[in-house]
Structure 1
Amino acid sequence: MPKSMPRIVVHPPAPTGGRRVHIDAEILGVAYNVADLLEFLRRAGLDPDEVRLNDPMIDWRGGGPDVWSLPPN
């Protein structure tokens, strides 16, 4: 049976900036941009050159890959 793809969750931006990222149940850290996210995924064993930001394995919450901070009030 093939190994299932990991579930990556990118949480909504925090009030202080950045987005918490976890893969399956493991918290990877807070990413402040796409480069941070790709580095976390690389450290988790994924090839960043193979990651597509629109892949359904990435659950973007509170905005897509172009949202890294809350809008100004």
Structure 2
Amino acid sequence: MEAPAADLPGHRLELMYVVLTWVFASWSLPLIIMAITPFSLIGALLSWLEHGRERWAGRYAPPVTTNEESPHGSR
């Protein structure tokens, strides 16, 4: 049994391109956005992994809290 045409990955990208073209009223800007998106996702994943590594290695210091009253009053 074949998958319906709407379930194929290529059609999803085409639909995404059509929607972005309509939103930005440009033919080239959606291509730029779609090309940059994987790089931003990879960067977000790497920074998330690095932050977790710092936290478990003990290099992360939580913010210091005190019970003293703030000179600006309570908020």
TM-score (norm 1): 0.27
Which structure carries more relative contact order (alpha carbon 8 Å, separation 6+)?
1
Larger Rg: 2
TM-score (norm 2): 0.26
Structure with greater strand share of residues: 1
